[in-house]
Structure 1
């Protein structure tokens, strides 16, 4: 932690458009009360920043270049990385941990809108809002919606959450007031911890087979690649809704396309692999699939929650306090 009353030197390292969106004038004013920073200097490429020697704090976000050995060699004073976004895996390298840098993330702030989107998707899915809306638009008449959509409604539905991540935990927290049976599957969670989240811990295959809605919140790891493959997609009961606001690689999209094209299941997909899907993908036009362009995370005014989280961390650092949202090296092996 800084030991002198002077303000530490800081630098923005991110895409310029992200700097402009995350740090408007009012945020910069608050920031400059605590650090010495040139608000117009944004490192999108460290090679283009001539003098990095005095930088003590990096304020990073989407588009930050990797902090490898060569970059760190040019920043001998660097002590902390405050990330104004979620995952730090794209830029915090082993060299950062070997240096002993302090790392903070705004992942908890970014988890809030993702969880809100997910909860909205759960409630709309069980209420069959999109399908009924389409039918109403087509027929423009009062029909017997319960007869057309048997089982319609949210009462006593089973919701399966795959992954007790920051987002997964937030989803469970938001769903607790509803009359749901909440299930969770996570290899790093025990039954007691699941109960404290208001859920019952079950095996992944059991969760998939039981859920009226199955929502994915696992990290992108080698062992979670195509977690929802053809075999597991086949375990979904007819009428189940699969939601993915986690990582696109969690689903085998060819297998999902085949299942969704049959009309057997529904899907709400905000992240894909690749992103964007090819224009010819049937997922764009299938009536039982809602495909959105990675909008569950922080956008528009929601970015200010991330900004405030990062500014709070800067203030803690400059006040000699520990980060509220530190990142541990070991945790990266099982996180997004």
Structure 2
């Protein structure tokens, strides 16, 4: 008896997948198109198409009666969890831990440096042939607060290390101690926010982090501080953020927004002190080889009956 594996990348492009005849697996290519590659009822292992949105991600789930594994190619799983009520009990949901850390951390650091050092203004000045000399903020000797200290948050701190920050503070859902120092709980944010020159959001989107950066959170940030969001757009209350940046009290660098994609005419586009990138934290040359390695390893573990990596929850 065979089981179908739905892949958003053609099987012959992924080195290390178990052979179909030996494993009893049948590989089906589906990248989110309108037509399913086979009967969803036969799918046991579903790799969710990358960056195709929630509607696409959950569309086949209601018919996947034989499903045992859902593997995302993103660090977050909020685009999949709304559809899990329709799947059988015992399905493992796995995320893409190990795929996006380097790229997302690179962008987070790039947004910090570009915002502090005035790079967007230099680009506009070059377009106008204007020499915009002056003194600009540095990252050196600044205090940085990382909100969401999982694998991506730790990767961000890795890249901050050479920049001689005065202090790096860490926050996660629960407190713990690491080799680098303490990780504070979310409840400690009110005390930590006033101490940070740069606040970087890298937390998953969940009920307790939806609008985490609300009016009260933003009001606790010190004057002149920079907010960087490489998490999910709804982690920030857009209305509250607009009020703060339009007053020029704080600045922001956003790889994700709410709404997303940010529509033409939205006030965030031209808000003072706001730098926007179009959700490209993980969309780099590093993505595909790492995603393929993860898929091959996970499918091989599944075929061998071994424990899967990156299990976020089991239905």
TM-score normalised per structure 1 = 0.76
Alpha-carbon offset, residue 204 of structure 1 = 0.8
2-structure distance, mates of 1:125, 1:198: 27
Distance 1:278 1:141, change over 3 A: closer
Kept in 1, the 8 Å contact 2:93–2:312? The answer is: yes
Alpha-carbon offset, residue 313 of structure 1 = 1.2
Structure 2 residue aligned with 1:64: 57
Aligned residue among 221, 229, 235 for 1:236: 221
2-structure distance, mates of 1:222, 1:88: 13
Alpha-carbon offset, residue 289 of structure 1 = 1.0
Comparing 54-63 with 249-258, which one deviates more in the overlay? 54-63
Structure 2 residue aligned with 1:3: none
Distance 1:55 1:291, change over 3 A: closer
Aligned residue among 254, 257, 260 for 2:242: 257
Structure 1 residue aligned with 2:80: 91
**Unaligned 5+ runs, structure 2:** 51-55
What does residue range 249-288 of structure 1 map to in structure 2 within 5 Å? 249-288=234-273
Alpha-carbon offset, residue 280 of structure 1 = 2.3
Structure 1 residue aligned with 2:69: 80
TM-score normalised per structure 2 = 0.80
1:188 matched to 2:174? The reply is yes
Distance 1:126 1:31, change over 3 A: same
Kept in 2, the 8 Å contact 1:80–1:101? The answer is: yes
Kept in 2, the 8 Å contact 1:183–1:200? The answer is: yes
Structure 1 residue aligned with 2:53: none
Kept in 1, the 8 Å contact 2:245–2:251? The answer is: yes
Aligned residue among 11, 19, 24 for 2:5: 11
Alpha-carbon offset, residue 251 of structure 1 = 1.6
Alpha-carbon offset, residue 293 of structure 1 = 1.6
Kept in 2, the 8 Å contact 1:11–1:41? The answer is: no
Helix, strand or coil at the partner of 1:10: strand
Alpha-carbon offset, residue 283 of structure 1 = 1.9
Which of the pair has more CA radius of gyration? 1
- Cα deviation code 1:213-248 (max 9, x no counterpart): 111122323332322222322222222111011111
1-structure distance, mates of 2:30, 2:220: 52
Alpha-carbon offset, residue 59 of structure 1 = 2.7
1:311 matched to 2:305? The reply is no
Alpha-carbon offset, residue 137 of structure 1 = 5.6
Kept in 2, the 8 Å contact 1:313–1:324? The answer is: yes
**Unaligned 5+ runs, structure 1:** 1-5, 14-18, 331-336
Alpha-carbon offset, residue 299 of structure 1 = 4.2
Kept in 1, the 8 Å contact 2:175–2:183? The answer is: no
* Greater fraction of residues in strand: 2
Alpha-carbon offset, residue 101 of structure 1 = 2.6
1:104 matched to 2:87? The reply is no
2-structure distance, mates of 1:103, 1:282: 37
Structure 1 residue aligned with 2:150: 165
* Greater fraction of residues in helix: 1
Kept in 2, the 8 Å contact 1:104–1:327? The answer is: yes
Distance 1:141 1:58, change over 3 A: closer
Q: Aligned pair count? A: 302
Structure 2 residue aligned with 1:123: 113
- Cα deviation code 1:89-119 (max 9, x no counterpart): 44351454x6223343214313332222112
